[in-house]
Chains A and B, each alone.
Chain A
Amino acid sequence: MAKGESCILKMQGITKDYFGTRVLKGIDLELKPGEIHGIVGENGAGKSTLMNILFGMPVIHSTGGYGGAIEVKGNPVSIGSPFDAMKLGIGMVHQEFMLIPGFSITENIKLNRELTKSTLFSKIFGPRLESLDIEAMGNDAKKALKSLDLGIDEWSKVAGLPVGHMQFIEIAREIDKSNIKVLVFDEPTAVLAESEAENLLKAVRKLAGEGVAILFITHRLHEIMAVCDRITVLRDGGMVTCVERTRTSMPELARLMVGRQLDEAVRIHPDTSAKPLALRIRNFSVDMPGETAKKIDLDVHEGEILGIGGLAGQGKIGIANGVMGLYPAKGEVSFFGKPLPLNNPKGAILEGLAFLSEDRRGVGLLLDMSIEMNIVSSAMVIQGKFLKKYGFFTQVDKAGVRRHALETIKNLDIRCKGPDQSVRRLSGGNQQKVCVAKALALDPKFLFVSEPTRGIDVGAKKLVLDTLVDLRDKLGLTIVMTSSELAELRTICDRIAIVNDGKIVGILAPNADDTDFGLMMAGDYDAR
């Protein structure tokens, strides 16, 4: 490894706590000029927190700062704001474009760094009224674009440009900052087509050749292998290793990224493959922004718990939302042999499907309503339960609602002050149980569960997972659980489908090899 003095950036023993939970556990990172340094890790491994610290984001400093030391060119620095980072020559190419479509490329490159010239007016009213030096701005922009070998007119509007070009404009903006020394790429190829990604990697190499140190964050292992000099692997906020590219391989990286001690032995469940099909999905595409699913084929057998795993943004969330009719979907879905109407939430519920949304507080609950009204809400308005009927006129059966709520609260062990407490005040785990109760009030045959333990503290996670297993064992429900946490899928699922780039890459047994899981999630399974 390189000696400290030749390092442009050195981060040492970086730790970070959010509300008592340690999310970064002592990360070391060294970066030399001209080096391309890859950072890999699953969602939640700590990559974005590390970058937020490097950029002095407010979210870090409003939650008590960080531990450890950062040095730039051998001098200890404290980065208190993104502006400090900029002054130190650290730049970032954002995952979501920070571009203004209505502006020209030049205006975007020079955003808030416009060149101005003094006029009579500005001499009287101050420098804020200096007029823009359009010509000089254009020249700078042209130069930056040229250094990326990008032959587009610097005055064309950003709106309508291909996505690949937009990414390059972001890079050009960073290059145009004259003192750029470290450039961070955060999942730069996530939105790019393959050929565009090639171009990007070329540009990255070119920049490194000019002496800029590059931090390359991605989950695409083959890109890491293609461009990086060294690779740091993070897992669960800890640093697993930092290796030279030449001394590692894709399977090894995949294993390092995923591998973890399982909390408990993998449960072995009775084989359900002989049971009838509960859900048969063919050629199924869902248009859910950020989670698009493309041409999915999937079979779910009665009585099984099927897991759907994969990295965020790859489309795993889209499947359940599509079947439930919440986002536009097309394809064939049959439910216990009967074709299921698509794009019709009411129809799906009436057929016996229920859904625990990944957005618990936004989609799953009425936060300001009582527990009991949340539990009966769907069953009441869709199935007409918990109502007294007077001809055409209906009235809510308050006594019936209360009875059902009390019973469910007892059965699911929801910790609350009573059925009329508002859901907003409940803990995450108990809110999730209310969601379960709401789904159960529909008497479903089939349950979609998305990210059931997101935002729930560690102790309660197990309770939620146990509840799901109970539902299958005692009520005979068929469950499809979608989760970003591979470990929890492996704890309770019978089979696990891994989604990458909107497609199912493969279905693995919960006790399959870490390397297979890692490669499938990274989309490099075929490349092995």
Chain B
Amino acid sequence: MMLNIGNKQQRVDGPQKVSGSATYSADITSQFYHAYVLQSSIACGSITALDTSAAEAFEGVKGIFTHKNLPERLKNRVDYTDPLSPPGKPFRPFYNNKILYNGQPIALVVAETFEQARYASSLIKVTYKEEEFKGSLYENLKNASADRTPDPASNRGDFKKAFKNSEYTITQEYRQSRNYHNPMEPHATSVEYKDDGSIVVYDKIQGVGSSLKYLNGVFGLGADKVQVKSDFVGGAFGSGLRPQYQLFMATLAALELKRNVQMVMTRAQMFSFGYRPEVIHTMKLGCSKDGTLQALSHRTVGETSTFEDFNETIVDWSGLLYKCEHVNLEYELTPVQSYTPLDMRAPGGVSGVYALECAIDELAHEAGIDPLEFRRKNYVDYDQNEDKPFTSKELMACYDRCEELFGWKNKKTSSENEPHLLTGFGMATGSWEALQQPASVSLTMDENGMFTIKCATADIGTGTYTVMSQIAADKLGVPIEKIEFKLGDTAYPDSPIEGGSWTVSSVGSAVAGVCKKFQYRIADVWKRNNPDYQQVDFDAILFQDGNLEYDAKTFSFAEIMQQASKEELSIAHNEAKIEGQTTHSGYAHCCVMVEVTVDQDLGIIKVPRIVNVSAAGKIINPKTAENQLLGAMIWGLGMALREEGMVDSKYGRIMNANFAEYHIAVNADVHNIHAEFVEEKDDKVNPLGAKGVGELGIVGLASAISNAIYDATGKRLRKLPMLLDDILEV
């Protein structure tokens, strides 16, 4: 029988997606009232008057909600947290007349159509008492404090002394601007209001459990009164890790008006909540004459909101990736008048590794050593932050394969035809955690031998439906067509939120676990009904093609289970973390190499080639895994050269909240791009030996491009994004 794990299985939900029959949260077809949010036009101050009369009188308007009429019970409730709330006080919509950031929701208009609601919102007259916007991260660095952050990995050795004694040193500052998630599907919530006062909520979320937790905390409905569903998510990248305000709004309106209500955010509103924060890194690195890394200090200051302390794991990466005895790590936060940042694809890792990999490149050049050789020289095979071995680490094989594929040594020179065009090569190391969270699943088999496996996890476009079906098919011993994997429903067994690249590891291991239980179950039933086989050892039984095989005899699952009780056909399973994760550290790794061209007159930077070679344990589906790598790499290109959330220094307002002026990379920006995996055996990371790949590909890419620009031009652009004017003016 053909094994599914390791196959380039087509997406099982592909036909639904390409035919448009996949129902996303805004595709629910009940009759809905439509909600539209009016946002503040100032960053700081208070609302002194709010006249909604013209809006109320407008055709089709069914209700308007503001701080003036928010039900008292919502003001008195205190739990607006969700499972991923950082320390602090979560934002409470319409709580009072205070304005905490520009773009804050200040009124909700509900009408028969979206167009009516949107236009009516523009008829609301708002009078503010405006206070001065105090600026972005850079203007507020004096308020940076480590009191608001968790402690990074412990310092080790004596950095100061080792840095002083180093033969070569660099001290540099690197800046990263704010980035927004921009999933293709905007956030949407559709709430169906039932006669008994219960609601069914279709939410764009990376884990329905988070929406449920939030709704219960805010609205106090009780577990039997709320069901949250999310069959499909059109990309999220972290933007759906926390419930966003459309969930509150649609639910509030549905409960107050006792009607079905839908709220879909506009593209501009997709810039009115979380983002990858702007950060500033200060790097100090020193090495010996032969290029041995001696001392490393990484200090990062990041922005957060005035009401929550959003933190990431940023500087720890600098203590992890290379062998270094003397390390100093510092991480601080500065509040700015903005909404709270939010995890975005490889949160913290992207930022920390960006600064580290640029600094490593600078130090290698100081020492006169090829950047690839420098990295090999300082390779480390255990986790120095935690003082543990890795579950596996085939990064060296990534270096070797990437070098070969890319042709690292075959440096091109500028062509005679285009003397203004400079070519450069750059590289970086990337890494991401291989985590596993507890997860639960249930399995049932029907009389036809069809299996339904349920879990409250999500598929954010990553391929959860597909890889879980593959795992189940192999672990049960049935064709993949016999598996239906269902997700995105709070009625299903609990799952961790889909994030952290841990879904394959966590839910996949739980699926493998429940399948194993099923095999034991079916073997028991078989033995019970076949006295001849009472003494058969489980390991001597073969499970394949939907059959139990023993001693050259074949018994179909369906046939055996006819003699089982209904209860026996339903199996639940909770998968906990495994032992290996406490004694070992699990990480996936990659090496990325890029070629850039820089037009030295016009400053235009292009990336004709990107090659990524990753080590991520067992690859369940090379097709979806490659998709994830490529998507992440393209985003890395965007991060390096394109993306910048532009916050006006006077008004504190994001000024490019659209696809015309917030430049995500487009097809034309992507030329020759390649991703592949090296073999990596791992029997400790989780029962599948698989590491997540959703985030890995973006880590390091921006530094590889920055390093390649230096190789081409001799200019170090220590900021992101790197724009053509940076080339002209440096």
Co-complex (A, B): no
User: B interface vs A, CB < 8 Å?
Assistant: none
